[in-house]
Amino acid sequence: MNSLIEISNVSFSYDGKINVLENINLNIEENSYYGIYGHSGSGKSTLLFLIGNLLNPDLGKIEYRFSNIKKNTGFVFQFFNLINELTILENAKLAQYIRNKKENLKEIKQFAEILGISELLNKFPTELSGGEKQRASILRAVVGNVKIILADEPTGSLDMKNKIIVFKLFRDLIKFNKTVIVVSHEKELMDFCDNKILLEDGKIKGES
3-state DSSP call for residue 189? helix
Radius of gyration in angstroms for the set of CA atoms belonging to the chain, rounded to a whole number? 17
Number of residues written out for the chain:
208
DSSP 8-state symbol, 55: S
Instruction: Please list the pLDDT of the chain residue by residue as tens digits (208 residues).
Output: 689 999 999 999 988 777 899 999 999 999 999 999 998 888 999 999 999 999 999 999 999 999 899 899 999 988 888 999 999 999 999 999 999 899 999 999 999 999 999 999 999 999 999 999 999 999 999 999 999 999 999 988 888 998 999 899 999 999 999 999 999 988 999 999 999 999 999 999 988 8
pLDDT value at residue 1? 66
pTM for this predicted structure: 0.92
Decide: 154 and 134 in contact? Cβ < 8 Å. Answer: yes
Domain boundaries, the chain: 33-41+68-207
Q: Check residue 78 and give its pLDDT.
A: 82
Question: Which residues have a Cβ under 8 Å from the Cβ of 175 and sit 6 or more positions away?
Answer: none
Q: For position 8, what pLDDT does the model report?
A: 98
CATH of region 33-41+68-207: 3.40.50.300
Cα 111-114-119 angle, rounded to 5 deg: 85
Ordered alpha helix ranges (H), the chain: 44-51, 88-100, 105-115, 130-142, 160-173
Rounded-to-integer distance, Cα 124 and Cα 88, Å: 6
Are residues 112 and 93 in contact, defined by beta-carbon separation less than 8 angstroms?
A: no
Give first-to-last CA distance, the chain, whole Å.
17
The reported pLDDT for the residue numbered 105 is 96
Which residues are within 8 A (CB) of 27 and not within 5 positions of it... i.e. 6 or more apart? Answer: 3, 5, 6, 7
